[in-house]
Structure 1
């Protein structure tokens, strides 16, 4: 996936990529150790070794900072080309599950979900910075499967977009629920069974 594009900034001293990386890493570390309610920009600045004003020049507040810290983790997800649609799905599911095993990813994502239930602006930022970007993986996977002849090409762009949304919701919802809510393992056996159900649907052959 493409990397996130930093927000425009006024002319002046160039923005430091190293500082950004340190700040986002410190944010995730602080979430694990302190939780959402106790996390402050001052603490993050101390951990990152930067001035507090440096954070405020980049992020308006804690919500924006935490979303970008989580988005950076999910930007590392890739859709492997394993030769078939089924193998591609299994590959990305296992990679997603492995990401969620890291304490910083698990804690940060759960904190964002909890906080966003009462904050519409935060929900909008999560959709724009995390969800919409990860949906690109679905579009990439479908296009690859269509080139292989595994899936038909859809002529209606709006219908194709709705289908992509649904596929993303099914995969992300299942993986997040199993990993973070049910706390059950996402191993190759479960992943294969899930992929079979996803590709076949609730048909008699899938239930057999």
Structure 2
């Protein structure tokens, strides 16, 4: 039995979001074809997501200096504990699905904050004489994203920093297989929006069969 962590980062309801609609289609097919797997949903807009701030740096610094956890302030304990929990949850999963919209050439900032809680030296990667090495080498990931414009080709391709960044950071953590299911052009070509959505849902169903 595998464990899938389904990570969404969108404040909209499913019926108002292309990415969440496609994600739910993927999830339905995945559940039907992997009935023994455990699926854990993580909505980044509905959790207490800590940012790497002064409290976190101070807390980490105290722990690295040999202080016991109870020597941290209440805020330091709360934030460091939450980061530890999110990191451990991520490590414990076998598969990851990230579902995001495309905002200002990337994804919502909450996903970057989440990435900062899982890219932790000594847990998801390590430093070596040859440079950093990812430790999550037995995982796989999928990114489902919806974009209003077309960023897979032409001059706009250079402005796409969401899917490319996610591939880069997951590769940095050692994940050898990262796929993407992208719907794009719905705002640019509104007359084709439903067709684009339908085609992308079909692709999501196919990817789910073997994911």
Q: Please give the range of the TM-score, normalised by the shorter of the 2 chains.
A: under 0.3
Using structure 1 for the length normalisation, give the TM-score: 0.28
Q: Which structure carries more helix by proportion?
A: 1
Point out which structure has higher relative CO (alpha carbons under 8 A, 6+ apart).
2
Q: Which structure carries more strand by proportion?
A: 2
Using structure 2 for the length normalisation, give the TM-score: 0.28
